[in-house]
Amino acid sequence: MLAKRLFDLFWAVPGLIVLSPLFLVLALWIKRDSSGPVFFRQVRVGRGGRHFSIYKFRTMCSDAEAKGRQITVGADPRITRSGSFLRKYKLDELPQLINVVLGDMSLVGPRPEVPRYVELYPERVRELVLSVPPGITDYASLEYRDENAILGRSPDPERAYIEEVMPAKLRYCERYVSERSLWVDLKLILATLYAVAARR
C-alpha cells in the first residue's frame, strides 16, 4: 500500500500545481454561470466503510439534491450550462485530486458510492470493494462513462441503476481488486486520459 500511496502522491501533487490555473478559470466560470459554491461536496463511503466528503466542481444548481435523485439521468434539468461542459469532458472530477492528496482516495480504485447504495451491496462484495481505497477512475468508470445517458433511456432510472448498472459496475470493481497493481493503475490512467481526449 505504501508504493500505491507514493504513486498517487507522485502524480496528484504535481497535477494540482500544474492544473491550478485551469481550476481558477473553471471556478470563475461556475460562479458566473450560476449562484452557489464552486465545489460540490457529498458524503461517500471509502476504504473500510469510512465516510468522507468527495470534492467535485459543481455542475448542478446549488440545491440539486433537494430537487431530485442522487443519480443524474439524461438531460437532467438541474445541470447548469457550465456543468454540461464539465461533465462531458469529466473536468468536474479534477478536484478529487484533493481527495487523493488527503488520503481519502487513490487515483485508481472502485468509484466511491453514497451510503444508501453501499448498503445494497451483497455483504461479500461490499467487504471486497471496501478493502481498497476508492479511486477517481477504474474499469467501471471507463465502461460506464455515459451512465447518465444510459439511465435516461430507462422508464425507471433508479430501479435500472440498482438492478442493472450497479451490479455490473460491482463486477468490474471485483475485477480491479483481484488484478490491482501499479502497472494496472498506470494502464487505467492512460486509458482514461485517452477516453477523455477522444471526446474532443
pLDDT at 64: 60
pLDDT exceeding 70 applies to what percent of the chain?
92
When comparing pLDDT for 190 and 65, which is higher? 190
Task: Kindly list the domain boundaries of the chain, sorted by start residue.
Answer: 2-198
Backbone angles phi, psi at 159, to 5 degrees: -65, -40
pLDDT range class, residue 60, cuts 50, 70, 90: confident
Chain segment 122-148, per-residue pLDDT in tens? 999 999 999 999 999 999 999 987 777
pLDDT classification of 74: cutoffs 50, 70, 90: low
pLDDT-based confidence at 199, cuts 50/70/90?
Answer: low
The distance from CA 25 to its chain's CA centroid, rounded to whole angstroms, is 21
Q: What percent of the chain has pLDDT over 90?
A: 70
The pLDDT value given to residue 149: 73
- Provide the grid cell at 142: 471507463
| Three-state secondary structure string covering the chain | CHHHHHHHHHHHHHHHHHHHHHHHHHHHHHHHHCCCCCEEEEEEECHHHCEEEEEEECCECCCHHHHCCCCCCCCCCCECHHHHHHHHCCHHHCCHHHHHHHCCCEEECCCCCCHHHHCCCCHHHHHHHCCCCCEEECHHHHHCCCHHHHHHCCCCHHHHHHHHHHHHHHHHHHHHHHHCCHHHHHHHHHHHHHHHHHCC
Q: How would residue 71 be classed by pLDDT, with cut points 50, 70 and 90?
A: low
- What pLDDT does 48 receive? 96
